[in-house]
A and B are shown apart, each in its own frame.
Chain A
């Protein structure tokens, strides 16, 4: 039973998405810049019932309702932060494509710098090693071994033919 429910749920997910993309046609904007700003804002908000689609692109009914609310807030000249706050209070961080910076997301935002730092460290260490390395000098003994190795190798090749 649980499986059926989940399947249904995923089915709904799929159905709601990709139905078309004309989400903002019913809104009026004072200028091109304003329309662009609103589009950018809604592009960063996640549609809650779709499979990874933004509010700007989704045609799902629920997305339409949410878009109307965001539009109303936006018309009241609320800032982007205030709108984000309102959405997070209602739906959690999941609704924002740009994860907010807070203790639980420190690792997400600062982890990459740590990674970059490790990369730079490995790079500088290797370079230091390599540039200070002496060219390998072959001793008399090594030369002898090289000869035998070469001979072995050629013998092997002959044998494998």
Chain B
């Protein structure tokens, strides 16, 4: 009964989504306020019914209702409760439901936090989001219904993929999807602006906090995903340029470009059509990412063909959304080069450089990810495009970005005096070059030029940002005014600084762990020891321990640094009852300067085991960098100027009017 209620709620929410896509939009076109005003209540209703649907599916998991096909395929009576809940989004149908649910919640959030927006804008944004959810809900109802029943009810479920029985999976998809779906808001604002023809500073100001919020979620989602892959897959890596990873990275890069471009549009009225294009690009990549992963086309082109209904629907949906918005763009967008003039050395031109580099990088990742599919489809042969290719492309673009980042905070709008700029930054330049040179020492560089490069760029970002903060405070009341500045007008400035420092942290972690990491494959007998980078790992043997839905062979390692005991690590090799395949569960002793990582291999008989030991210096900084970026974004959103109910009316109106004129003139 409960699953039927869920199913019914899903159908109802689709009806509401269709209504939301049509009536508010028409209402704003032919001046029917009552139709336009439908947007908010419809968004509420949609969110409510999607909550009911998600609740019903969760309930079916909690009570082990194996008459629901999706539950039977992805759960088991022995599955711990927390994983029964995360199993709701553990496979195709459920993750689509989660997507639609988030779209419903973001729509409701817009309905609540849009008091300062005009009804026209709210109605149009919500109409666009209604269109998107119509697509998702019909995809679900027609091809991938999570509430489908099974008519020979199995006594036991097939269990959740053991890889996914982990806290990382409980968190990774929801955060990632909140990011994906969040970009639909930026997309909605862009489409609404294109429909209305009003591309002014207030439009940019409204969409900024929403875009940043989406970006924060996406950043967190990718960071958690990378961390999960590191400890759960037992291979000790944190990024493999796997297509699934790339699918989430592409919208992130495009979204990063969008955030920076929006700043220019808000403050200077420039780059308007470029910003619109990025908003469309970011969301299109979110859709593409979701479908690339969900359609199975990445595993092999044949998995896609295995279920032609889904494949055709996905293609049609992508074409309608991306093609439709691009057509609208071509028809309505103002000329790319509109907006005020600026100098070669100005914040605008440096942000434009940042934007172009990020966009090129986005397309590189897209190209590398799709190339094997294109080659296969055109029968040019089967190829693999893996980390060596991506790393080269990454290194071709990102160092320039890191250089630009250092100048960013000290640049002024319109015009910056280059001599002044260099004067201010000369200490930062000297410091970073010295650190780069120190990193040339063979013991640090390990024979690779990338280590000095990475250290130089890291030092450059940190030093230049400290310079920027000091410079800013000098113009206030000295260093003591930091906290008043942080609490007051400078909030989003410091958010930006923190996010940029996150990039430096990431560079530190990535450079160190890639060049100083050590791994060892070993065969060990109980009592034997092995040494890595000064740490002595003593293998104390393997015992059998039971788990809730598996049994495990659990190894014990005692680790010493000199004579001092540092840690005891207990990696496991698990066999899950339901699926019977062995899984490794690595054990990690983490620290800010190094991780010690042990994963258990195979029983070689006589108490001997094969195993892999890792020394991972500074690996935590890869994710700490991600967290700092996300936190920086949160600080930016909390800036008070986004929260004032009525923005300075006269000022806004003035810029609006001036922008309209400028657009017409150019």
Q: Which A residues are closer than 8 A to B by beta carbons?
A: 2-3, 6-7, 10, 13-15, 18-27, 35, 39, 44, 46, 51-54, 57, 59, 92-99, 104-105, 108, 111-112, 115-116, 118-120, 122-123, 126-127, 129-131, 133-136, 138, 142, 145-146, 149-150, 153-154, 157, 160
Minimal beta-carbon separation of A21 from chain B (angstroms): 5
Interface segment, B55-63, B247-255, B346-354, B420-428?
B346-354
Please state if A149 and B357 are interface contacts (CB–CB under 8 Å): no
Please state if A57 and B344 are interface contacts (CB–CB under 8 Å): no
Chain B residues in 8 Å Cβ range of A26: 523, 610
Please state if A119 and B371 are interface contacts (CB–CB under 8 Å): no
B600 adjacent to chain A (CB < 8 Å): yes
Please state if B388 and A21 are interface contacts (CB–CB under 8 Å): no
Chain B residues in 8 Å Cβ range of A115: 360, 363-364, 367
B383 adjacent to chain A (CB < 8 Å): yes
B558 adjacent to chain A (CB < 8 Å): no
B367-409 CB contact bits vs A (8 Å, 1 = yes)? Answer: 1100100010000111111111100010011000000000000
Please state if A108 and B386 are interface contacts (CB–CB under 8 Å): no
Contact among A20, A25, A35, A95 with B384 in the assembled complex (CB-CB below 8 Å): A95
A10 to B364, CA, bound (A): 28
A53 to B118, CA, bound (A): 52
Minimal beta-carbon separation of A111 from chain B (angstroms): 6
Contact among B519, B599, B602, B657 with A150 in the assembled complex (CB-CB below 8 Å): B657
Chain A residues in 8 Å Cβ range of B302: 6
B432 adjacent to chain A (CB < 8 Å): no
A27 to B658, CA, bound (A): 73
A130 to B609, CA, bound (A): 67
Contact among B348, B357, B653 with A157 in the assembled complex (CB-CB below 8 Å): B653
Contact among A39, A53, A119, A130 with B348 in the assembled complex (CB-CB below 8 Å): A130
- For A142, the closest partner residue in chain B by CB is B661
Minimal beta-carbon separation of A60 from chain B (angstroms): 12
Q: Which B residues are closer than 8 A to A by beta carbons?
A: 118-119, 161, 163, 233-236, 240, 242-243, 270, 296, 299-300, 302-303, 306-307, 336-337, 340-344, 348-349, 352-353, 356-357, 359-360, 363-364, 367-368, 371, 375, 380-389, 393, 396-397, 519-523, 573, 581-584, 599-602, 610-612, 649, 653-654, 656-658, 660-662, 665-666
Report 18 cross-chain contacts, Cβ distance below 8 Å, ordered by A residue.
A10-B299, A10-B300, A18-B234, A19-B581, A24-B521, A26-B610, A46-B384, A54-B386, A57-B235, A94-B383, A94-B384, A97-B384, A98-B389, A99-B389, A104-B375, A130-B341, A150-B657, A154-B653
Please state if A135 and B599 are interface contacts (CB–CB under 8 Å): no
Minimal beta-carbon separation of A110 from chain B (angstroms): 12
Minimal beta-carbon separation of B361 from chain A (angstroms): 9
Please state if A93 and B584 are interface contacts (CB–CB under 8 Å): no
- For A146, the closest partner residue in chain B by CB is B657
Please state if A104 and B381 are interface contacts (CB–CB under 8 Å): yes
In the complex, number of A-B residue pairs with CB atoms less than 8 Å apart: 180
A24 to B368, CA, bound (A): 30
Q: Is the interface of B mostly helix, strand, loop or mixed?
A: mixed
Chain A residues in 8 Å Cβ range of B384: 46, 93-97, 99
Contact among A3, A18, A24, A130 with B349 in the assembled complex (CB-CB below 8 Å): A130
Chain A residues in 8 Å Cβ range of B520: 35
Given that A22-B611, A99-B384, A119-B359 are contacting pairs, would A150 and B343 also be in contact in the complex, using a CB cutoff of 8 Å? no
Please state if B396 and A99 are interface contacts (CB–CB under 8 Å): no
Q: A10-B303, A57-B235, A136-B661 are in contact. List 16 more A-B contacts (CB 8 A).
A: A6-B303, A21-B599, A22-B600, A22-B612, A93-B381, A108-B371, A112-B393, A115-B364, A116-B360, A123-B356, A127-B349, A131-B341, A134-B341, A145-B661, A150-B653, A153-B657
Chain B residues in 8 Å Cβ range of A126: 336-337, 352
The residue in B341, B343, B521, B573 that gathers the most chain A C-beta atoms within 10 A of its C-beta is B521
Q: Which 4 A-B pairs rank lowest in CB-CB distance, beginning with the nearest?
A: A22-B601, A97-B386, A98-B388, A133-B341
Please state if A19 and B582 are interface contacts (CB–CB under 8 Å): yes
Given that A119-B357, A130-B341 are contacting pairs, would A111 and B662 also be in contact in the complex, using a CB cutoff of 8 Å? no
Chain B residues in 8 Å Cβ range of A22: 521-522, 599-602, 610-612
- For B234, the closest partner residue in chain A by CB is A21
Chain B residues in 8 Å Cβ range of A135: 340-341
Please state if A136 and B662 are interface contacts (CB–CB under 8 Å): yes
Please state if A39 and B382 are interface contacts (CB–CB under 8 Å): no
